[in-house]
Amino acid sequence: MNQTAPRRHLTRLALVWGLGGFALTVAMAGGMNLAAQGIARHDSRAPVTYDAGNGLLDDRAKRAVLGGGVTVIQAGLTLRSDRMQIDFTDVGQLEIQRITATGGVVITRGDEQASGDNAVYDFNRRIITIAGNVALRRGTDTLNGGRLVIDLDSGLSTVDGNASGGSAATPGAPSGRGRVTGSFSVPQNREKKN
């Protein structure tokens, strides 16, 4: 019986729960502002603007492909990558369904930045998934892994060590398993008690 899968699931659950508890503790200590304008607090229903070096619109496939360094902006959230594919519906008006970004993906909002190799922004499910060499930064706090999933409805972000959810190893980690790494700042204005 393979006990690795349940253990991996429990590790992810513990990490999500632990990070939430840690964030609340740090916020209560004055170190992290939970009301910060982070990516997970983004309004995915706001209008979208874009800028690209080139583009191709395929009405039959309901798809636009943008290249040459692409920037998409939506309600304070900025998504940048080398190339993006935008899937849409056209029933009376164009509605974006999904953006697939590849090559040097960087997503910023306020003081938070997430980066990785690829990203999918699913407008219907209100989920942003970033995979491959993921780095999440808020101020001086860091979180690194293989895959980051940001649920815009719940505000919950989960990180695991494997970009595909499989068993690919992260460099420097024990073979066969990816790892989640990072660092958190600690408030320095605490008084020493004797």
The Cα–Cα gap between 85 and 66 comes to: 6
β-strands 83-91, 93-109: how paired?
antiparallel
The pLDDT, as a whole number, for residue 193 is 62
The Cα–Cα gap between 63 and 60 comes to: 8
Whether 26 shows a pLDDT value over 80: the answer reads no
Cβ neighbours for 103, distance < 8 A, ≥ 6 positions apart: 81, 82, 83, 117, 118
Q: CB 144: neighbour CB atoms within 10 A?
A: 18
If phi > 0 it is left, if psi is from -120 to 50 it is alpha, else beta; for residue 7 that is alpha
CATH architecture type of domain 37-183: Sandwich (2.60)
Whether 21 shows a pLDDT value over 70: the answer reads no
Whether 2 shows a pLDDT value over 70: the answer reads no
Contact 33, 23 (CB under 8 A): no
Cβ neighbours for 190, distance < 8 A, ≥ 6 positions apart: none
The pLDDT, as a whole number, for residue 83 is 98
Contact 107, 39 (CB under 8 A): yes
The Cα–Cα gap between 175 and 65 comes to: 37
Which pLDDT band, with edges at 50, 70 and 90, does 194 fall under?
A: low
Spell out the domain ranges in the chain: 37-183
Contact 157, 151 (CB under 8 A): yes
| 68-120 pLDDT, tens digit each | 999 999 999 999 999 999 999 988 888 999 999 999 999 999 889 999 999 99
| 134-182 pLDDT, tens digit each | 999 988 898 999 999 999 888 888 998 876 644 344 444 443 457 888 8
The Cα–Cα gap between 173 and 176 comes to: 8
The Cα–Cα gap between 44 and 26 comes to: 28
Q: Which of 3-12, 29-38, 150-159 has the highest mean pLDDT?
A: 150-159
The pLDDT, as a whole number, for residue 48 is 93
Of 148, 100, 167, 97, the C-alpha closest to 125 is 97
Over residues 184-188, mean pLDDT: 81
